[in-house]
Amino acid sequence: MKKLFGTDGIRGIAGQAPLDPTTIHAVGLALAHHLGQSPRVLIGQDTRESSDWIAAALTAGLTSGGATVESAGVITTPAVACLTRAHNFSAGVVISASHNPWQDNGIKLFGPDGYKLPDSTELAIEAEIFRHLSASTDIGQRTSDHVPPEVNDADRAEYVRFLLAAVPGLSLDGHRLVVDCANGAASSIAPELFALLNANGGGEVILSHVTPNGRNINENCGALHPGIVAKEVVAQRATMGITFDGDADRALFADENGKVVNGDAVLLLAARDLAARGLLTNATVVATTMSNMGLEAALKRSNIKMLRAPVGDKYVLEQMLATGAALGGEQSGHILFTGRSTTGDGLLTALLLLDIVHRSGQSLAELTADLKTFPQVIVNVHVREKRPLEGIPAVAAAIAAAEQELADSGRVVIRYSGTEALARVMIEAESEPLMRYHADAIADAIRSELGV
């Protein structure tokens, strides 16, 4: 079982283990050794104030292991995946904690093919990290010796060209868009990208939260707070809102009425569009255990099958590759299009959704009108440890009671977050009172046994 890597890399509070200089240096050293002789590594980062020194410490470890390092500077996670593959880098590394608060940070790893590393590879790298840490107590401590790698600004320009090429002929004419960049990595890409898309001036793009200061990433903005952009759409009388998370590997939307449009709705629209053009392989979409039963019903009406993977876009991708599915994603806004990207890409998703709306001649509200979702609640419980829930009698009893009463009229999904010290209680049911009763009962049981 992995100790450092979660569902999306290594994550924690910057400056504290496992994101202290010693461990970060060991991560770089272990990765370089894993990659073989004279590897080339691309690094990108988000806008957190800790990202620069983490990049410097990681670079020190990589170069100690014989690697050559190039930095794309502040850039989105999917951009690093894309550029790693395009330029035959041995690996890509992203320094980001995605949607987490500014105090946190993380390290995500991509292979030379642009895909996130499989669990088995992460386990092997993790074992070497621990060997380095046990062999030396002062490795990586001289932080004053750590120098960030030189930034190649051409990387961002190339990624913008990649995005534009994905939607040839896309026009913003007649559209007023509100775009929330979460004071994160999208701030370095979105202004130029949307300016180029609107070069003829036929539309209007209102950018918000594009002034990162190192500590305001995800703060009351971005995909973690989609209601913010939804309200702004109404206030600006816009046609659509787009909001990204801190590293822009996911996106959520708002229609012209100010209704939040999540990843489930995007999957529905993209699936129908691909199916209509004969591009939805095996008429199959891969979602996760968190996707609403309403999505499954809507896809079924369009003769599209939905498979469920564990939460985490890397696990969605694994099932997509195993089944040949062309489309997959998460309710949270990670959407994957095989053949176009190797990981969730919020900017690419936004452009492809805009293209669907443009070609359909309908509004986002009209396109999603028939998606009827079951009432769903997610309760997050902060926990001090992640013990198996089935082994805690009070918690197991609360879960069993919910499953028995909801039976065929709902779903109960209880899991630990792979990136935070949280237990997530998700219940979906036709009866909202029953849904909330059981969600609170299970959350209370977990809080009583494991709460902080």
* 417 labelled catalytic: no
With contact defined as beta carbons under 8 Å apart, do 203 and 172 qualify? yes
Helical packing angle, 346-360 and 190-197, nearest 10°: 20
Per the structure block, which two tokens stand in for 21? 């200089």
With contact defined as beta carbons under 8 Å apart, do 152 and 70 qualify? yes
Per the structure block, which two tokens stand in for 155? 């990387």
3-state helix, strand, coil in the chain (%, to 5): 45, 20, 35
Distance in Å from the first CA to the final CA of the chain: 24
* 3-class secondary structure, 449: helix
Distance CA 66, CA 350 (A): 39
* 3-class secondary structure, 22: helix
Helical packing angle, 154-166 and 346-360, nearest 10°: 30
Quote the DSSP letter at residue 373.
P
- Residue-by-residue DSSP string for 356-402: HHHHHTS-HHHHTTT--PPPEEEEEEEBS----GGGSHHHHHHHHHH
* 3-class secondary structure, 39: coil
Distance CA 127, CA 3 (A): 10
Q: Length of the chain, please?
A: 452
Per the structure block, which two tokens stand in for 418? 């792979």
Catalytic residue among 96, 98, 188, 291: 98
* 3-class secondary structure, 302: coil
Is residue 118 reached through a cis peptide bond, with omega within 30 degrees of 0 on the bond before it?
no
Quote the DSSP letter at residue 95.
E
For 164, counting Cβ atoms within 10 Å of its Cβ (0-12 exposed, 13-18 middle, 19+ buried), the class is middle
Quote the DSSP letter at residue 46.
-
Per the structure block, which two tokens stand in for 48? 């957190």
What residues contact residue 27 under an 8 Å CB cut-off, 6+ apart? 10, 58, 61, 107, 125, 129
With contact defined as beta carbons under 8 Å apart, do 381 and 447 qualify? yes
Catalytic site residues?
98
